[in-house]
Amino acid sequence: KAPLAAHRDMYLNAGGEVIPGLSINGPLAAGIPGQPAALAHIAQHYGRLPLADTLAPAIELARNGFLVDAYYQRMVRFRLPQLQRFPAAAQQFLQHNEVPVVGHRIVQPDLAFTLEAIAQKGAAGFYQGEVAEKLIAGVRQAGGIWTQKDLDQYQVVEREPLVGHYQGHRIVSVPPPSSGGVVLLQMLNMLQALDIEQHSPVQQTHLLVEVMRRAYQDRAHYLGDSDFVEVPVPRLLDQGYAQQRAADISPQRASVSPPMAVSTEKGSDTTHFSILDTSGNRVAATLSINYPFGSCFVVPGTGILLNDEMDDFSTKPGTPNAYGLVGNEANAIAPGKRMLSSMTPSFIEHDDWLAILGTPGGSRIISMVLLGALETMQGKEVDAWVARPRFHHQYLPDVIQFEPDALSTDIQQALANKGHTLKALSDTYGNMQAIRWDKKNQRVSAAADPRGLGTAQVE
Ligand code: GLY
C-alpha cells in the first residue's frame, strides 16, 4: 500500500516531470509490505500449522545461508550501483561491496531475527515492537516517509476471485488491485469471439497480439485499486463488450496503438507458487517486491529488503514505468491505496481436471498466463504449458516482444507484412509453476519453468 504520507505527484519535479529512479530505488520507492500480515492471516484462518513451524525452514536458510550461483550474480549485476548505495544491502547481498563469486555464502542473521519475531508474535512481530521501530527509523533516516500509523493500519483484504468461461472451462483468477484476472479474462473473451482455434498459426499469433493490445489498453485506462476508484469490472468482462472490442481487428493489418488518452476523471522481483494438497486444497500464490532486489534498500538491523512496488502506480498519467506500462488516473498514487499489479495467479477448472498456474514477470505476467492457459485448455501436458515459447504485446510500446526462437522467420515476416513492429529479445523470460490434477484418473502432474530455478514435486 502507498504510505499515508504519499501523494499523487510525489515522484515529479517542480516542472511536473518524473524524477528518474525515485519510484524504483531507495526507501521512497517502497510500499507498506503486506506479506507478514498475509502469512499470519493464512496461518490463522487456513493453515493447520503455526507460523513457528512454517517459518522454520526460512529462518534456517537466513541463519545458515545459501550459495551464490550464476543467476544470483546476474541479478546483482543488474542492480549493483543501487545495492552499493545502501550499506545494509551491500553488507547482506554483496561480497566486499562487489558481485559475490559463485559459491559465496549469503547469510542473513538480521533477517533470521525478524522472521523469529514473526514466528513468535505473528503480524505484531513485524508491524509493532522492536522490528517496527527499526523499520520506521531506518526508512525515515534514509529519506523515506513511513510512519508507525502505516504499519498499524495495514490490513489484509480477502476478495472474491473473478470467474470467467472459455470453451467449457471455468477460469478463476485474481481481482483488482491486480490487473491480472481482468486482463486475462478479457483476452479469453475476445479470443472466444474470434474463434481463434480455426485460424492458421500466423493468423493465431496476429489475433493474439491484437487481443493483448486491446486488453492492455483497457488496463492502462481503467484499472486501479477498486477500494479507491470505480473499476468497471462487469463491463470489461461482458461478452458483448469483448465482441465490440474485437470487432475492429483486421485480419490483414496490425492496428496502431492510439496514444494514451490521459483522463483526469477520478475514476523481476516476483515469485509464484502453485500448490495442491491431498485433500484437494489448492493455492495459486504470486508475491512481488517488483524489481530484482526490490528498492535495493535493506532496513538496518532488520534484514528486510524493501520492495519498490510504488513504481507499479502510474507516477504520471501516460508516462511509462519500469516495465514500459502506462497508466491513468485510476492508478494514480493516493495515501493508503494499493498499486496496480499484473500478478495473475489462476485456476482453470474442467469437469475432469483442474489446473493451477502463475508466473513472475512484471507486465508480461498476464500474456504468459494467457499463452499457458491456452495450452492447458488444448489438452497439452503440464510441461508444455510452462515451456511454451512466449511473445507479448502490452498496447504501448506498440511492439511485439518475443523470446529467441519463439516466432519462426516465416511468422515474423508474415507479421511484419501485416504492419506489426517486432522486437526480438536477447533472453527468455518468466518462471511459470503449474500443476494439473486429473480427477478422473487421480493423477497429479507438475512442472516448473525450464527457464527458471524452481522445481516441481509430486509426493
Ligand atoms: N510488481 C510486479 C507486478 O505485480 O505487476
The order of strands in the sheet holding 391-392 is 391-392, 400-402, 422-424
- List Cβ neighbours of 403 (8 Å cut-off, separation of 6 or more): 389, 390, 391, 425, 427, 428, 429
Mutate which of 288, 295, 340, 368 for ligand 1 pocket (most atoms within 8 A of beta carbon): 288
Q: Does the Cβ of 343 fall within 6 Å of ligand 1?
A: yes
> Which ligand 1 atom is the nearest neighbour of the CA of 360?
2
Q: Which residue in the block uniquely carries the three cell numbers 472451462?
A: 169
- Are the C-beta atoms of 214 and 191 separated by less than 8 Å? no
> Which ligand 1 atom is the nearest neighbour of the CA of 339?
4
Alpha-carbon distance 191 to 374, whole Å? 10
Q: What is the pLDDT of residue 88?
A: 98
> Which ligand 1 atom is the nearest neighbour of the CA of 365?
5
Mutate which of 269, 331, 343 for ligand 1 pocket (most atoms within 8 A of beta carbon): 343
Mutate which of 183, 268, 270, 338 for ligand 1 pocket (most atoms within 8 A of beta carbon): 270
**Cell numbers standing for residue 94:** 554483496
What is the number of H-type helices and E-type strands within the chain? 16, 13
**Cell numbers standing for residue 306:** 524493501
Alpha-carbon distance 182 to 445, whole Å? 28
Q: Does the Cβ of 382 fall within 6 Å of ligand 1?
A: no
> Which ligand 1 atom is the nearest neighbour of the CA of 180?
5
- What is the SS3 assignment for 258? coil
Active site (annotated) includes residue 319: no
Q: Does the Cβ of 184 fall within 6 Å of ligand 1?
A: no
From the candidates 270, 271, 302, 376, give the one annotated as an active-site residue. Answer: 270
Mutate which of 23, 182, 307, 309 for ligand 1 pocket (most atoms within 8 A of beta carbon): 309
Q: Does the Cβ of 23 fall within 6 Å of ligand 1?
A: no
Alpha-carbon distance 123 to 44, whole Å? 11
361 backbone φψ class: left, alpha, beta (φ>0; ψ -120 to 50): left
pLDDT tens per residue across all 459 residues of the chain: 999 999 999 999 999 999 999 999 999 999 999 999 999 999 999 999 999 999 999 999 999 999 999 999 999 999 999 999 999 999 999 999 999 999 999 999 999 999 999 999 999 999 999 999 999 999 999 999 999 999 999 999 999 999 999 999 999 999 999 999 999 999 999 999 999 999 999 999 999 999 999 999 999 999 999 999 999 999 999 999 999 999 999 999 999 999 987 655 444 678 999 999 999 999 999 999 999 999 999 999 999 999 999 999 999 988 999 888 999 999 999 999 999 999 999 999 999 999 999 999 999 999 999 999 999 999 999 999 999 999 999 999 999 999 999 999 999 999 999 999 999 999 999 999 999 999 999 999 999 999 988 899 998
Q: Does the Cβ of 344 fall within 6 Å of ligand 1?
A: no
- List Cβ neighbours of 345 (8 Å cut-off, separation of 6 or more): 173, 174, 180, 272, 284, 285, 286, 358
* Nearest protein CA to atom 4 of ligand 1, as residue: 341
The span from the first CA to the last CA of the chain, in angstroms, equals 37
Q: Report the separation in Å between the CA atom of 451 and the middle of ligand 1, taken as the mean of its atom positions.
A: 19
Q: Report the separation in Å between the CA atom of 362 and the middle of ligand 1, taken as the mean of its atom positions.
A: 5
Q: Which residue in the block uniquely carries the three cell numbers 530455478?
A: 453
CA distances to 11, 181, 331, 437 from 221, rounded to whole Å, are 20, 16, 9, 37
Q: Does the Cβ of 342 fall within 6 Å of ligand 1?
A: yes
Concatenating the DSSP letter of every residue in 188-228 gives HHHHHHHTGGGS-HHHHHHHHHHHHHHHHHHHHHH-S-TTT
Q: Does the Cβ of 270 fall within 6 Å of ligand 1?
A: yes
**What is the Cα Rg of the chain in Å?**
22
Q: Report the separation in Å between the CA atom of 1 and the middle of ligand 1, taken as the mean of its atom positions.
A: 13
Q: Report the separation in Å between the CA atom of 365 and the middle of ligand 1, taken as the mean of its atom positions.
A: 8
Residue 55, number of CB atoms within 10 A of its CB: 20
> Which ligand 1 atom is the nearest neighbour of the CA of 179?
5
Alpha-carbon distance 127 to 150, whole Å? 9
CA distances to 159, 354, 365, 369, 376 from 379, rounded to whole Å, are 30, 11, 21, 15, 5
Q: 292: buried, middle or exposed (CB in 10 Å: 19+, 13-18, 0-12)?
A: middle
